[in-house]
Amino acid sequence: MAEVIIVRDAAAGGALVADHIAALVRRRPETVLGLATGSTPLPVYAALRTRLAGVDVSHVRAFALDEYVGLDPAHPESYARVIEREVVRPLGLDPARVRLPRGTLPGIEHAGEDYEHEIADAGGIDLQILGIGSDGHIGFNEPGSSFASRTRVKTLTRQTREDNARFFAGPDEVPRHCITQGLGTILDARHLVLLAFGEGKAAAVAGAVEGPLTASLPASAIQLHERVSVVVDEAAASTLGFADYYREAWAHKPAWQGL
Ligand code: GLP
């Protein structure tokens, strides 16, 4: 089962995950990270700034989960720009080693396959950071996505476009299509770290961790993975049936096991 860690707040969750990532990079300078966008991972990236200061990150590689299709890559809300702004520049990563699926229209029909090859050529992803959509999506794998899916173009649900409208002038400005790592791609990463904060994520988190395995709640695919850390605050954990067990397990976890 996924390990569920209930933290005080988003900052504490960000610090916990950043400590683990920084230790990983120190141990293995050629670590391959899987990056997520959205507001949830921002405390991780913020905490990494101090933790990676002075660490050689020139060999780190990173792959983003997803990108909008048809949005000008120079648009401030394209995930290429978001990753550049929130991760690449502040952490001093080599921009050439940080990749996103290509959402531009020419060549879009083979962009998914190209991305799969890039990830495979890098030796796969060591640690994949994940947020979760209010409808239970991870990456942009909307409800109904196959657990075997690979990187491909998807149509965003109305709910996701409304959720993401805050980054644009309005819901109509949010692109209709995206290109996202598939659930099968995500499950190939060696360690999944899913973060969720706030009451709005409680139902999706409970479904992902404790609900039945179902494509209707794509994040439930994490139950198929052998190494998953789910980092949530009290509000996002509020509808978990086994919360007391998770607290007890974490409180008594041997230090040598780490995250
Ligand atoms: C978008 C991203 C997801 C992210 C989700 C939740 O849909 N494609 O990777 O997990 O938003 O966003 P937030 O963290 O802002 O709630």
pLDDT digit string (tens) for 188-224?
999 999 999 999 999 999 999 999 999 999 999 999 9
Task: Look at residue 258 and tell me whether its pLDDT is greater than 90.
Answer: no
| pLDDT score of 117 | 98
Atom 5 of ligand 1, nearest CA residue: 133
Pocket of ligand 1 contains residue 140 by CB under 6 Å: yes
| pLDDT score of 63 | 98
Length of the chain equals 259
Task: Look at residue 1 and tell me whether its pLDDT is greater than 80.
Answer: no
What mean pLDDT is reported for the chain? 97
Q: Which two tokens stand for residue 84?
A: 């550049």
Choosing from 142, 163, 188, 233, the catalytic residue is: 142
| pLDDT score of 214 | 98
Longest dimension (CA), the chain: 53
pLDDT digit string (tens) for 126-171?
999 999 998 999 999 999 999 999 999 999 999 999 989 999 998 9
Our answer to whether residue 3 is catalytic in this structure is no
Neighbours of 1 (CB within 10 A): 13
The amino acid that residue 96 corresponds to is: A
Choosing from 86, 135, 188, 233, the catalytic residue is: 135
Mutate to test the pocket of ligand 1, among 35, 66, 137 (most ligand atoms within 8 A of CB): 137
Q: How far is the CA of 244 from the centre of ligand 1 (A)?
A: 27
| pLDDT score of 54 | 93
Our answer to whether residue 135 is catalytic in this structure is yes
Our answer to whether residue 66 is catalytic in this structure is yes
Pocket of ligand 1 contains residue 32 by CB under 6 Å: no
Pocket of ligand 1 contains residue 197 by CB under 6 Å: no
Q: How far is the CA of 37 from the centre of ligand 1 (A)?
A: 6
What pTM, to 2 d.p., does this model score? 0.97
Closest approach atom of ligand 1 to CA 178: 8
Domains and CATH numbers, the chain: 3-253 (3.40.50.1360)
Which pLDDT band holds residue 125 (cuts at 50, 70, 90)? very high
Strands (DSSP E) contained in 8-54 are 32-35
Distance CA 218, CA 258 (A): 27
Distance CA 238, CA 241 (A): 9
Query: Which residues have a Cβ under 8 Å from the Cβ of 47 and sit 6 or more positions away?
Result: 11, 14, 15, 17, 18, 19
Strand 127-130 relative to strand 191-196, pairing: parallel
Atom 12 of ligand 1, nearest CA residue: 38
